[in-house]
Amino acid sequence: MSGTGDGGWRTIFEPFRIKSVEPLHFTTVAEREAALERTGYNVFGLAAREVLIDLLTDSGTGAMSAEQWAAIMRGDESYAGAESWERFTAAVTNLTGLAHVIPVHQGRAAERILFAETVKLGDVVPNNTHFDTTRANIEYDRGEALDLPCEAAGDTQAEAPFKGNIDVERLEALLAERALDVPMVFLTVTNNTIGGQPVSMANVREVRALCDRYEIPLFIDAARFAENCWFVIQREEGYADRTPTEVAKELFSYADGVTMSAKKDGLANIGGFLALRDDDLAARCRALLILTEGFPTYGGLAGRDLEAIAQGLEEVLDPEYLRYRVRTAEYLAQRCWDAGVETVRPPGGHAVYLDAGSMVPHLHRDRFPAHAVVVELYRVGGIRAVEVGSVMFGPAATHELVRLALPRRVYTQSHIDYVAEVVAAVRARREQVPGYRITWEPPYLRHFTARFEPIAG
Ligand code: F0G
């Protein structure tokens, strides 16, 4: 029996104790203001040492366990057929049931190799919602990346349990009309782009049935598969008594292929893989792998990285870890609501998305309200977050959000309490929060390097 989840305690119980610590970097408001001026009010330009709590991403920023560090020491750095490779490929095949495992340096390398071999001009790849790099890699091969999110996904306030689902009706209509142009159907679990929302197992099964009917392979972008499985256990009928490992195995049993960024639910700082059922496709992908990543038994990784991922894939399915993980996002969201700040609902697995409209209602869209909140979180509390709004998407933006992504096993409940306090403090002084104008921007992906200046009044 669990000492935490069953006991009704309010405390978020981090299911680990700390063996190795890393100091945080404290700065004064004056130092942070100087840093903001220097970077043109763009937090991507900050040095990490200028940041106190870094919520820029949950990717590659997690803490490894003692067992992972021990595995690192066991890393076999042989060029071909290393023991670490055997352990890695066994872990991935055991989890996914897929025979062919292709190690890569991170998720987007799996995407690049897969789409180079499968997508051509005139093709369309549907997904619940493509992550940016998935979309970019499909478009690079001149295919169309089509998002088919379910209806509830469009409403940030709808309390639906599985807002990450794909719209099965629209998928069916697409396949009925253009099945020959669809090299594969993708499902991204959890659905990062719409707020880390989960996909239900029922949805996966429906998509599998459609794929069978039209003889099209189903691929899963598994970056946050374990968090998705936890939501299935919590929210979907018939799964309450299943273990995360059982649910994950069922999830992957429906897939013909998996792309994975091990920087998320691999609990590693780098790495990923492409896992495939089809022998011929695997042979072609391996040939391309050798060209750009490395020999098939290490891909773009060191033997020690393979070890860390093999171990991470096991640890990430520990129910106590997942309880703490998902509870942390819920808790932070609740603290924000208590302070009068709205978020995407329900909170996702890896991040809380603040609705800038509820924090700085006086700022119009053309003054970049979500960007203004990002700057203020840094100025007031040294917190680094990401704008997901008009700066990132331009006029196509549908919402003005601020993503607070939670690195895995890095921050404790006190850190999260501090973040909530800073969010509340920013809201309390909202009248003083200025809007921004862009003073310089690059031709594409402007959010990374654009420069801004505050607009007085
Ligand atoms: N798929 C999803 C759903 C992702 O969220 C990411 C990365 C990738 C693929 C690409 O993996 O970074 O290892 O090449 N997401 C990060 C983020 C960057 O901050 O959300 P990668």
Give, using CA atoms, the residue closest to atom 12 of ligand 1. 107
Residue 261 vs residues 170, 304, 324: alpha-carbon distances, Å: 28, 17, 21
Burial label, 14 (beta-carbon count in 10 A; 0-12, 13-18, 19+) = middle
Predicted pLDDT at 6: 55
| Bridge partners, residue 166, by sequence | 149
Whether ligand 1 lies within 6 angstroms of the CB of 369 is answered as no
- Quote the ligand 1 centre to 223 CA distance (angstroms): 7
With contact defined as beta carbons under 8 Å apart, do 224 and 350 qualify?
yes
Say whether 221 is catalytic: yes
> Is 131's C-beta closer than 6 angstroms to any atom of ligand 1?
yes
CA angle 273, 277, 281 (to 5 degrees): 80
382 backbone dihedrals φ, ψ, rounded to 5°: 70, 20
With beta carbons less than 8 A apart as the criterion, state whether 190 and 349 touch. yes
CA 224–ligand 1 middle distance (angstroms):
9
Is 265 in the active site?
no
The pLDDT of residue 7: 60
> Which sign, positive or negative, has the C-alpha torsion 240, 59, 194, 36?
positive
Of 145, 195, 197, 202, nearest to 168 (Cα)? 202
Torsions phi, psi of 187, nearest 5?
-130, 130
Per-residue tokens: 6: 């069953």
Question: pTM to 2 decimals?
Answer: 0.96
Cis before 395? omega within 30: no
Q: Is the CB of 272 under 6 A from ligand 1?
A: yes
Catalytic residue among 25, 34, 120, 132: 132
Residue of 57, 133, 227, 445 to mutate, ligand 1, most atoms within 8 A of C-beta? 133
Whole-number pLDDT of residue 457:
63
Residue 254 falls in the annotated catalytic set: no
Annotated active-site residue 132? The verdict is yes
Q: Note the pLDDT of residue 248.
A: 98
Asked whether the beta carbons of 280 and 32 are under 8 A apart, the reply is no
Distance CA 251, CA 247 (A): 6
Those residues with Cβ within 8 angstroms of residue 227's Cβ, 6 or more apart along the chain or in another chain:
190, 196, 198, 265, 322, 325, 326, 348, 349, 350
Is the Cβ atom of 127 under 6 angstroms away from ligand 1? no
Q: Is 447 a catalytic residue?
A: yes
Q: Could you tell me if the CB of 269 is within 6 A of ligand 1?
A: no
Instruction: Kindly name the residue from 25, 34, 66, 79 that is annotated as catalytic.
Output: 79
Annotated active-site residue 131? The verdict is: yes
Instruction: Considering the candidates 105, 264, 350, 371, report the single residue annotated as catalytic.
Output: 264
Distance from C-alpha of 267 to C-alpha of 253, rounded to nearest angstrom = 22
Strand order in the sheet with 401-405: 351-355, 401-405, 386-388
Q: What is the pLDDT along the chain (457 residues), one digit of tens a residue?
A: 344 555 677 888 999 999 999 999 999 999 999 999 999 999 999 999 999 999 999 999 999 999 999 999 999 999 999 999 999 999 999 999 999 999 999 999 999 999 999 999 999 999 999 998 999 999 999 999 999 999 999 999 999 999 999 999 999 999 999 999 999 999 999 999 889 999 999 999 999 999 999 999 999 999 999 999 999 999 999 999 999 999 999 999 999 999 999 999 999 999 999 999 999 999 999 999 999 999 999 999 999 999 999 999 999 999 999 999 999 999 999 999 999 999 999 999 999 999 998 999 999 999 999 999 999 999 999 999 999 999 998 888 888 999 999 999 999 999 999 999 999 999 999 999 999 999 999 987 899 999 999 997 6
Element (H, E) at 328: helix 319-338
The full DSSP string for 373-393 is HHHHHHHHH-EE-EEESHHHH
